[in-house]
Structure 1
Amino acid sequence: MATVFPLLRDTVRRGLSAMLCSTYAIGGAAAQGASPDIPEADGILPSLSALWVIPERLRLRYPDAVETPEDQIEYDRRFPLRAQDAIDRGFSLPQPYGLSIMGIDNRQEQSISNLAVALGRATPPPPGTDLVSIPFVTLENVISDTDSVSVKGDVWVLPNINVFATLAQVDGNVDLDVVVDPADVLPPALCPPFNPCDPVRATFRAGVDTLAVTLGATAVYGWGNWFTSGTLSATASFGENAETTIRSYNAGARLGRRWSYGQGNIAAPYVGLNYFVLDQTVEGVTRLNDAFPNGDSLEVRYRADVQNIDRWAVALGLNLGFIQGYSLTGEYSYSANSDRFLLSASYRF
């Protein structure tokens, strides 16, 4: 067991940390600040009053009375594309660029299975070495508890399409039970059917230290004071010792309503769903220092399958947008085996 437990700790740390990073872009797609006297109307652009900061000189006119502005308005920003067409039809346009800082606290259960290893003394087994499966070792109650800090940049490339990129540093711990079934290891004489051996269980805690990069896009639509958005994103996570770039995918939908208050501020509560997929084989090398009497290390090349248990989660959030271009978003996501809280501060320019 001395050669197995260190391997299991590092394997879990790398596998779970990728899962924890992948859903962070979704919460940033909620509503942001707008002008106070935007009328209710159906269509794409009215919803942006809950998602964008509207410049004073480009206030939204009522789209049911489509007419060319009396004074020609020249839009001088590169994005969004087709901006001038929207302005000429009587619509306003948002500030196209955004920067956000997000903090996330996440607790989640995952599954790690089909562990296989190759061992080396002082020198890691080379790539391509045949790995030996160890089915008598299982990992149960794999629960991660992590905190992350993310920086997000975004741009509205079309009046209803936003693209974004997020860089996240994830730190925390993973608690897990390592269970060894002696009946699969010892000869039948030592574990007879009439007197079976009980499984040996030990609890471990592993650290998480992962960098994750997310790319995604959000589409919006609105009617009256209501808005809806949908987000697709993909995340690549990089662990300290993993040789595999762990990829995960996320889809999210939000539905909410905006209220104006104060001097041009917006409050926009919303509900939503997240769908997250992580199902990948992870490979890498880990080390147990001073494993032998002469001080040599035990080098372990490993392979394991990592999956998330709950793919669906519900979300409840609130965005507060301010006329100066700043906004704050809080969101709570929940499923049977996970919960997550996100807090984001953003600025549009």
Structure 2
Amino acid sequence: MTACSSSTPYEERVEIRQSIDDESEQLIEELAEVYPEIYAQLEEAEGYATGVMSNIKVPLVGGGTGIGAVYSNVDDSITYIDLYRYDVGAGLGLSSYRMISILDTPENLEKFSKGFSEQSWGTDWNISVSGIEADKVYYLEDSEIPTYLVFESSASAVGSARLMSVSVNEELTETGMGNAKFANHESATDKSSPQWDRPLPFFAQDVVDKGFSLPLPFGISILYAETKQDMTISGLEAGFSGINNGATQAVEFMSFDNNYSHSKTPQLKLDAWIFPFMNVFATVGKVNGMAHVEFASDGSVANGVAENSLPCNPILPGQKPAEFCEALRDATGWNEALDVDLDGWNYTIGATFAAGWQDYFLAIPVSVTYIDMKNARAEELVINVSPRIGKQIPLKDTSSVDVYVGVSYLDSTLTIYGEHYGNLPDDKHITYKIEQENIDKWMGLVGASYNFNRSWAIQAEYGQNGSDKRQFVSSLTHRF
């Protein structure tokens, strides 16, 4: 009856299922001695659910676990289930009981077959004068679902709020659902016949038949990413206001130093397994950060404008006086440090190619991100490929820990538009276009994920390349 382990080998599942079925039959026989009408009730119902629960309660909190099965009279199918109970309230208790619920409507049969959570308030009083009452049998005829209980307790005096949860035991029911985040090859045995009943991924049944288990097909995540990296100037264009409408042209006589970008990005991510080994995703997020640019000019921009672009004849009307041209020719340049606010939105599309073998996995996410920062007059394009290899470490029930290492290739191009107002005559200014590119494309990374169950997980990842590039990513994911 210990089928709530995180991963039950195929060879053991037949034995566990048989023990649950035997326990269910024995329970019906015992109840029939007190309630002979139970046979007719079970035959007329849509189906019935059985279970064995163990509970413990200390003064403030308590809980229990169990296992059982749902037997359908409609199609003769069997769905094996895990049972959980959580208590908050006063009391002490240590108890166990067996139960059978009459699923007299199609809705109740579907409810137990798909799983559910239900809140309630109640009391348990199971202390007799002699100290213990054992094997107490109850028929809860007035409850929403008629239920028989065979109660066994060492002692129990509890008044608490309860949360009862029923979930499908995917392994025992053999749905093809696994605990891993990726398609995981578990066994090549032909003794099992899982049946995948979800719309995605395509060709799921084919790989399930080959011994792979699959994750839940859809996901929604909240992510937070922070990245700091050194940048280099890959292109600079500049122009002078009032000439050619301020159009920019390439500038070569410019020096740069100490350029970097630092961004923080909360994001919302949606994903789906389209094929068993291919997940597609899209994210949208808010970017907050800054780009630091330091550059110096020796005056060649202004000198070139004076020599080639300005009409400097003081005699003809409408042309600039000679002293204006002389001022440009004598310009000594400038030193400038810019901190550009990178506030905007980022949009990402990508795909992850992944597979696992006996809890080891290989994953290769590939993505393209466009960052639009209209208020900052900047935009960025990021291409990212991050292969990683790791292992899933099973824990209790369906919880587990994933640990992995990998590398990340990130190509980032940041384009900044702006104006420079310096010691230029007649309130003129320099317009510019700066293209920054990250210096270090590669970095190593390590990460870990704690999977509460098949549906919920938290993850953290850290990447670094020396002191020039650092990245931290965390996420909370719900799969369904």
TM (norm. structure 2) is 0.51
Among 365, 370, 374, the alignment partner of 1:231 is: 365
CA distance in 1, matches of 2:457, 2:436: 36
Where in structure 2 are there 5+ consecutive unaligned residues?
A: 11-167, 179-184, 305-331
Deviations 1:248-273 (CA, angstroms, capped at 9, x unpaired): 31111111111112332111111010
CA displacement at 1:86 relative to structure 2: 3.3
Counterpart position of 2:296: 179
CA displacement at 1:85 relative to structure 2: 2.6
Q: Are 2:289 and 1:155 equivalent residues in the alignment?
A: no
CA distance in 2, matches of 1:94, 1:236: 29
Q: CA 1:82/1:229 → structure 2, altered by over 3 Å: closer, same or farther? A: same
Matches within 5 A, 1:282-297: 282=415, 284=417, 286=418
Q: Are 2:345 and 1:211 equivalent residues in the alignment?
A: yes
SS at match of 1:84: helix
CA distance in 2, matches of 1:132, 1:215: 33
Matches within 5 A, 1:41-56: 55=170
Amino acid at match of 2:217: P
Q: Are 2:441 and 1:317 equivalent residues in the alignment?
A: no
**Does structure 2 conserve the Cα–Cα contact (< 8 Å) formed by 1:35 and 1:323?**
no
CA distance in 1, matches of 2:244, 2:169: 59
CA distance in 2, matches of 1:99, 1:144: 29
Q: Are 2:67 and 1:97 equivalent residues in the alignment?
A: no
Q: Are 2:385 and 1:251 equivalent residues in the alignment?
A: yes
Counterpart position of 1:11: none
Q: CA 1:267/1:149 → structure 2, altered by over 3 Å: closer, same or farther? A: same
CA distance in 2, matches of 1:90, 1:161: 18
Counterpart position of 2:438: 308
CA distance in 1, matches of 2:348, 2:461: 19
**Does structure 1 conserve the Cα–Cα contact (< 8 Å) formed by 2:419 and 2:432?**
no
How many residue pairs align between the two structures? 282
**Does structure 1 conserve the Cα–Cα contact (< 8 Å) formed by 2:186 and 2:358?**
no
CA displacement at 1:78 relative to structure 2: 1.6
**Does structure 2 conserve the Cα–Cα contact (< 8 Å) formed by 1:55 and 1:93?**
no
Q: Are 2:472 and 1:341 equivalent residues in the alignment?
A: yes
SS at match of 1:323: coil
CA distance in 2, matches of 1:109, 1:150: 23
CA distance in 1, matches of 2:5, 2:386: 26
SS at match of 2:188: helix
105-114 or 234-243, which moves further after superposition?
234-243
SS at match of 1:307: strand
Deviations 1:1-51 (CA, angstroms, capped at 9, x unpaired): xxxxxxxxxxxxxxxxxxxxxxxxxxxxxxxxx9811559xxxxxxxxxxx
Q: Are 2:409 and 1:275 equivalent residues in the alignment?
A: yes
CA displacement at 1:339 relative to structure 2: 0.3
SS at match of 2:403: strand
Counterpart position of 2:140: none
CA displacement at 1:301 relative to structure 2: 5.0
CA displacement at 1:300 relative to structure 2: 6.3
CA distance in 1, matches of 2:224, 2:391: 24
CA displacement at 1:326 relative to structure 2: 0.7
Q: CA 1:137/1:39 → structure 2, altered by over 3 Å: closer, same or farther? A: farther
Q: Are 2:229 and 1:108 equivalent residues in the alignment?
A: yes
Amino acid at match of 1:141: N
Kindly, what percent of the aligned residue pairs are identical?
A: 26
CA displacement at 1:275 relative to structure 2: 0.8
**Greater Cα radius of gyration, structure 1 or 2:** 2
Deviations 1:292-347 (CA, angstroms, capped at 9, x unpaired): 999x9x78654333321001010010110011611011000101311011111100
Q: CA 1:292/1:311 → structure 2, altered by over 3 Å: closer, same or farther? A: closer
SS at match of 1:64: coil
Structure with greater contact order relative to length (CA < 8 Å, sep ≥ 6) = 1
Counterpart position of 1:63: 187
**Does structure 2 conserve the Cα–Cα contact (< 8 Å) formed by 1:54 and 1:95?**
no
Q: CA 1:102/1:38 → structure 2, altered by over 3 Å: closer, same or farther? A: farther
**Does structure 2 conserve the Cα–Cα contact (< 8 Å) formed by 1:125 and 1:299?**
no
CA distance in 2, matches of 1:67, 1:119: 78
Amino acid at match of 2:267: S
Amino acid at match of 1:315: L
Amino acid at match of 1:274: S
**Does structure 2 conserve the Cα–Cα contact (< 8 Å) formed by 1:125 and 1:300?**
no
CA displacement at 1:277 relative to structure 2: 1.9
Question: What value does the CA root-mean-square deviation take over the aligned residues?
Answer: 3.8
